[in-house]
Every structure is written in C-alpha cells, then in structure tokens.
C-alpha cells in the first residue's frame, strides 16, 4: 500500500483535505544534485542507465516531498526504439539526422518489442519503486503520437513545426500510418510500464496547440484517445495538451482520469470547458516561480481556491525551468501542503 496516496485519491475524484502537488520536469535540471550527475553522463546515458534514472527520479522527493514521483526519462526513447535515430545535442536539444519525409521513410519505421528495446526503462521503474518504498505513487509517461511525429518529421525542435504539418497535409496517408505505428508502440510501452510498477501514466501533447481544432481532432486527439482506451483498465491516464484548451470538452468526455491545463487557460474556463466533473491538473506559469516565495505562496493559494481543492492536482502549466531558485520551488510545494480551506 502506498503511504501517501493523495495523488491517486485526486485522480479518483475523492474528497481530500488538500490537493496533491508535483511539478512537471521535477526530476532534473533545476536541482544541483541533478547537475552533478549531468556533468558526468550525457543525456541518453542518464535515461538508459537504470541506476541513474532511478536516482534522478527520487532526488526531488528527497528534497521537497512531493505527492508523486515521475520517472526520469524522455519522450524520444519511443522513436529511438522504432528504428529512428535521435541525438540530444548540448545547448540545442533533440536532433534527428534522418527525418521522416516520405512514404518509404514511414515504411522503414518499426513497431518494436518494447520489452526488449525499452527494457532499460522497465528496470529503472523497478529500481525506483524499491527506492520510493511505497512512500508516494510513481508516474510513467509518453509523448503524444502527434508530438512524437513533430520531432520525427521536423528533425529538431521548432517554433511552428511547419515541416511536420506540411507532411500531414500533403501526405496524410503516410502521416496517419506513422501516427498509428507510434500509437501502437506507445500503448504497449505504457502497459509495460504499468505492469512493472507505474501507478499512473501521463501523455504529454506538448505541440498539440500547433494545430487548429479540426486538425487536432484528426492528427492528435484520436490517437491520444486510442491510448486512453487501451490503458483505462490498467491505470489512471492523465492527458496534457499544451495550448489545447479548445479540446477540453472532447477530452473530458473520454476515459481519461485527469486533464492537464496550461497557464493560458484560467481555472474558471478550464472547469467550464471540461464540464466540471473531471480532475484537472495545473496550471501555474513556470516563469512565475521567479516571483518572491511569499508571492508564490499567495498565488498558489488563490489558484487552489479557483480550481477547488477536490478533483484537482496542483502543478505547473509546463515543465519547471532550469534556473528556478530552490527556495522558490520549495515555496510552491510548501504552499500546497500548508493550504487550508478559506473560512
């Protein structure tokens, strides 16, 4: 039994004394103990070495005692397993030297045996569960098929992913074939993660907001929903679409256990658009963590009051930034733990 199951209670919609809190990208770059590991090992070595991945995962729990841990990994381990080369260049980010641009390229993409190709992730989960000792739940994650396609076709990060969109609009048959291969791989990957110990899974659709509402339905949401349907009986699934406020109504009528909200959508609008019955997660602007700790605490309490303490998970609206002061991150977590319902 997990000793602190506040996060799981919120996913089930149960009444709680305070909402749970964790931070996207909490396992990483803003922590000095992470920087020590980073100085010794390159990015994918950290991902592929279970001892390193598990240590990085538990570092923020040791320091701040969040209500959930999220496994240190990366969304691009999926394309790597699918026979697509992915590099992580310092001060540049993801780089794919052979981007997918043709039907032949799509035909060469494989749907791997995740138990072999991504066994290192499963070993990291087992080690992490031992280290957590049932103190808090462990979250596994994957990128949405659309977000993975963006990197595979664009070949790197982008402000608008124009090449990815062009590929989908000029070669939709190949695009949908690629999206389905990514979806099939992601389903087996997340199922394997749950089987070895993840208590919940989150789907990150970081680039969903690049699409119009109509195109989002066609090229992103239908594939995310396939994943939710496949996982719904295995573990709670959280769907997070950055910039996808327009899809909250459809998302809320799926079998997702919770929806992530970014900071561009107010709590009131998020509750309204999602129908008010599903657990929401978010949505503090990560850059707001530069505000003074006292101001952070005040804003967090206001955010909880606006979302409501039940069916709510406190989080950032995207990942924590690398240069956030440690005391400010602590203020964010402490604000939630100190929260009391207004009289």
- Please state, in angstroms and rounded to a whole number, the distance separating the CA atoms of residues 296 and 302: 10
- Please state, in angstroms and rounded to a whole number, the distance separating the CA atoms of residues 79 and 153: 11
What letter does residue 254 receive in the DSSP assignment? S
Annotated binding residues, written as ranges, equal 25-29, 44, 74, 151, 206, 318
CA distances from 252 to 13, 196, 202, 298 (A): 14, 28, 15, 29
Q: Which of 312, 216, 203, 235 is nearest to 268 (CA)?
A: 312
- Please state, in angstroms and rounded to a whole number, the distance separating the CA atoms of residues 209 and 148: 14
Q: Which of 5, 57, 19, 35 is nearest to 335 (CA)?
A: 19
87-89 and 93-95: which strand pairing? antiparallel
- Please state, in angstroms and rounded to a whole number, the distance separating the CA atoms of residues 192 and 102: 31
End-to-end, the C-alpha distance of the chain in Å comes to 34
Annotated binding residues for substrate, written as ranges, equal 25-29, 44, 74, 151, 206, 318
Instruction: Check if the beta carbon of residue 182 is closer than 8 Å to that of residue 151.
Output: no
């Amino acid at each position: 039994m997990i000793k602190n199951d506040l996060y799981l209670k919120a996913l089930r919609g149960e009444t709680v004394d305070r909402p749970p809190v964790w931070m996207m990208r909490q396992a990483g770059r803003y922590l000095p103990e992470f920087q020590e590991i980073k100085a010794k090992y390159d990015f994918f070595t950290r991902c592929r070495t279970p001892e390193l991945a598990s240590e990085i995962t538990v570092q923020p729990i040791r320091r701040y005692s969040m209500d959930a841990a999220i496994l240190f990994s990366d969304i691009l381990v999926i394309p790597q397993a699918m026979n697509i080369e992915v590099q992580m260049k310092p001060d540049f980010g993801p780089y794919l030297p052979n981007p997918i641009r043709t039907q032949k390229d799509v035909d060469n993409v494989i749907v791997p045996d995740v138990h072999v190709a991504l066994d290192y992730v499963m070993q990291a989960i087992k080690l992490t569960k031992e280290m957590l000792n049932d103190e808090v739940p462990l979250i596994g994650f994957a990128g949405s098929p659309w977000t993975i396609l963006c990197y595979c076709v664009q070949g790197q990060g982008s402000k608008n992913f124009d090449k990815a969109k062009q590929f989908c609009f000029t070669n939709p048959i190949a695009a949908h074939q690629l999206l389905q291969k990514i979806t099939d791989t992601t389903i087996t990957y997340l199922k394997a993660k749950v089987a070895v110990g993840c208590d919940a899974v989150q789907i990150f659709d970081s680039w969903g907001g690049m699409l119009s509402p109509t195109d989002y339905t066609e090229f992103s949401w239908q594939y995310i929903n396939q994943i939710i349907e496949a996982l719904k009986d295995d573990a709670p699934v959280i769907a997070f679409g950055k910039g996808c406020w327009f899809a909250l109504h459809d998302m809320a009528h799926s079998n997702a256990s919770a929806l992530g909200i970014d900071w561009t959508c107010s709590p009131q609008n998020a509750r309204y658009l999602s129908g008010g019955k599903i657990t929401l997660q978010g949505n503090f602007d990560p850059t707001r963590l530069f505000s003074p700790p006292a101001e952070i605490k005040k804003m967090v309490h206001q955010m909880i009051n606006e979302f409501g303490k039940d069916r709510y998970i406190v989080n950032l609206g995207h990942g924590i930034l690398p240069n956030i002061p440690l005391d400010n991150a602590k203020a964010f977590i402490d604000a939630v733990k100190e929260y009391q319902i207004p009289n």
